[in-house]
Amino acid sequence: MTTEAYARPLPQSAAITPAAAARRLLAKHWDGRLPVVPEQIATAEGLRVERLGLFEDYEFSGEFLKSQRLIYVNEREPMVRQRFTLAHELGHYALGHENSPRDTSAEFSSRTGDPKERAANQFAAELLMPAEAVAKLVQSGRFGSVDELAKAFNVSKVAMTYRINNLGLLV
């Protein structure tokens, strides 16, 4: 019998799933109110959020600059998209990724092949639409359509539909 196995630290990156990383930040910084405000969580983690695009050319949705603890968000895109972008970039931070390549809409697609982008999207989905909160609202019966749920979480209808299907819920 050896105790060596207990002394060895767990590899951190492998130990935590994107959803668990999101729940950890929610537990730390979220007051339980909907919609979740990703900017508040980013700021509470000591990150800066800057919006680009209104006065300068910026052809991306957003990016995360690790060394500067900085997230850029394209403010010309619709608010629900900006919220998802911010949550996605926060995912790159929380999952310990290096500087994200500048993200375009392709990275936010569920079909993206890059595992880091998929992980950041899974993180963003759990951050903005926590599984527990989605289940609670759906089961309350007070929300008759995906549209109403999307409004409660302040996400796009597409993101909400995808999330509900992923969680195996019916509206």
Residues that bind Zn ion (CB under 5 A): 100, 103, 107, 117, 120
Residues with Cβ < 8 Å from 115, sequence gap 6 or more?
A: none
Please, what is the minimum distance in Å from the beta carbon of residue 123 to Zn ion? 10
Comparison of 39 and 103: residue with beta carbon closer to Zn ion = 103
Contact assessment for residue 103 and residue 65, using Cβ atoms and an 8 Å cutoff: no
Please, what is the minimum distance in Å from the beta carbon of residue 88 to Zn ion? 5
Half-sphere exposure of 146 (CA within 13 A, CB side): 13
Please, what is the minimum distance in Å from the beta carbon of residue 100 to Zn ion? 4
| Number of CB atoms found within 10 A of residue 19's CB | 16
Comparison of 70 and 171: residue with beta carbon closer to Zn ion = 70
Identify the residue whose tokens are 């996400």.
155
For 38-58, b/e burial (b = at least 16 CB within 10 A) is: bbebbeeeebebebbbeeeeb
Please, what is the minimum distance in Å from the beta carbon of residue 159 to Zn ion? 15
Comparison of 77 and 107: residue with beta carbon closer to Zn ion = 107
Comparison of 103 and 126: residue with beta carbon closer to Zn ion = 103
